């Protein structure tokens, strides 16, 4: 490692009287690395989260409970034909092929889940056992931008799985794993276990469910219960394995005459969390075959819906957003407004505050401005003037 003393100096920065100014002098990529060192967003008790698919439903319904400490955030209409550079030490670069709608709580380009116009949905869940391999020569993305990368690039779970080794996750936010499902009802699970990528797709999956234990340990536990080869009754607890078993059992028992979306919300209610430190904040149901999203938020349980086809994904048109928890109900597709850096900054700041991170306002400004580094390749393009600065010598020195 070239000039290793420089990294050692950075690790010592919090003890130095002028660490704030040192941080502010770094290009944005280095700032993200400093963020991961000084202000880990995984602080506090580990959240939960449960995701499942009902493959026998005509609509190919996928459900997700997002369990965390607050429900602020925004929906973002992400554009295709944008050239992007990841926030990472060895950043991946790509051009988005598909538009998408995502749920964001740490800023635009850093979603917690979403669905693209091809009918592929990707969701993230906490996993303490996650451990990532060194990047080597493989381009990196952080664990939330990984979701946006997949939605930008792939139309199916099988395509995503086949290309999962093209990038590697560089952890900044938290230890996680993923479930991706598409409009045909096929899913893929993606985990980093013992510093190795583990991908299962289609028939490799015993059930299309994930919670907060590894897929192997969850399915091994599941086989002890009725309907899955065992003789034990379905558990009722809020722990990860109990939620995994209950969601899997309820999804398996779905029959076509029941409205699939309503049934999925019933499953989500069955596995919802009540602990204030990791309560269910969003309950989301994707009807993948229909390109339809329905969701509810804690505290304002009104049903909100949108159709993926309602939006223009051309990057020559303004990005649109919808701030959550504004009292909306019914079809909210017409309530989206043009994206602003100010709203993104508000979301970034709120997400950081929730973790106990105290960042200089100038650094928050940089993170909030990051999405404007993307370049529209359509004609005529938007005027996107903000550029990300990447210190290549710093990257080489790691």
In the chain, how long is the greatest CA-to-CA distance?
A: 66
Torsion angle defined by CA atoms of residues 57, 304, 65 and 69, in that order, rounded to the nearest 10 degrees: 180
Residue for token pair 């990196």? 140
Count how many Cα atoms sit within 13 Å of the Cα of residue 24 in the half-sphere of its side chain: 9
All structural domains of the chain: 50-376 (3.60.60.10)
- CB neighbours (10 Å) of residue 387? 12
pLDDT at 359: 77
Write out pLDDT tens, residues 77-103. 999 999 999 988 899 999 999 999 999
The answer to whether 165 and 213 are in contact (CB under 8 A) is no
What values do phi and psi take at 221, rounded to 5? Answer: -65, -40
Model confidence at 358, pLDDT cuts 50, 70, 90, reads confident
The pTM score is 0.88
With a cut of 80, say whether residue 356 has pLDDT above it. Answer: no
The answer to whether 186 and 156 are in contact (CB under 8 A) is yes
Considering only residues 277 and 229, tell me which one the structure prediction assigns the higher pLDDT. Answer: 229
With a cut of 70, say whether residue 385 has pLDDT above it. Answer: no
User: Taking the mean position of all CA atoms in its chain, how far away is CA 376?
Assistant: 23
Least confidently predicted of 29-33, 190-194, 252-256, 328-332: 29-33
């Amino acid at each position: 490692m070239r000039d290793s003393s420089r990294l050692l100096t950075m690790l010592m920065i919090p003890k130095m009287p002028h660490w704030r100014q040192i941080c502010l002098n770094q290009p944005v990529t280095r700032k993200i690395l400093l963020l991961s060192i000084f202000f880990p967003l995984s602080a506090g008790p580990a959240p939960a989260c449960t995701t499942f698919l009902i493959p026998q439903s005509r609509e190919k319904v996928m459900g997700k409970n997002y369990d965390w400490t607050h429900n602020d955030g925004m929906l973002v209409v992400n554009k295709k034909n944008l050239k992007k550079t990841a926030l990472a030490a060895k950043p991946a670069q790509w051009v988005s092929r598909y538009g998408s709608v995502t749920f964001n709580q740490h800023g635009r380009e850093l979603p917690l889940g979403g669905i693209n116009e091809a009918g592929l949905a990707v969701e993230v869940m906490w996993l303490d056992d996650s451990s990532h391999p060194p990047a080597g020569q493989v381009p990196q993305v952080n664990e939330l931008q990984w979701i946006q990368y997949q939605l930008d690039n792939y139309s199916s779970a099988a395509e995503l799985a086949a290309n999962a080794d093209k990038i590697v996750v560089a952890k900044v936010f938290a230890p996680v794993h993923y479930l991706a499902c598409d409009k045909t009802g096929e899913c893929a699970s993606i985990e980093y276990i013992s510093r190795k990528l583990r991908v299962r797709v289609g028939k490799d999956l015993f059930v299309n469910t994930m919670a907060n234990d590894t897929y192997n340990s969850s399915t091994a536990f599941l086989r002890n219960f009725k309907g899955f080869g065992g003789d034990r009754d379905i558990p009722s607890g809020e722990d990860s394995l109990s939620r995994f078993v209950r969601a899997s059992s309820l999804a398996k028992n779905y029959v076509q005459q029941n409205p699939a979306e309503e049934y999925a919300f019933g499953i989500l209610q069955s596995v919802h969390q009540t602990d204030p430190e990791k309560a269910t904040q969003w309950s989301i149901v994707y009807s993948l075959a229909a390109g339809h999203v329905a969701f509810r938020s804690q505290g304002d349980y009104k049903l909100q819906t949108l159709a993926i086809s309602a939006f223009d994904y051309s990057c020559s048109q303004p990005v649109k957003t919808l701030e959550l928890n504004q009292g909306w109900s019914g079809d909210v597709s017409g309530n989206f407004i043009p994206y602003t850096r100010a709203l993104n900054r508000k979301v970034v700041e709120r997400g950081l505050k929730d973790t106990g991170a105290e960042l200089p306002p100038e650094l928050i400004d940089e993170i909030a401005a990051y999405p404007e580094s993307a370049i529209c390749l359509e004609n005529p393009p938007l005027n996107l003037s903000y550029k990300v600065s990447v210190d290549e010598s710093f990257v080489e020195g790691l």
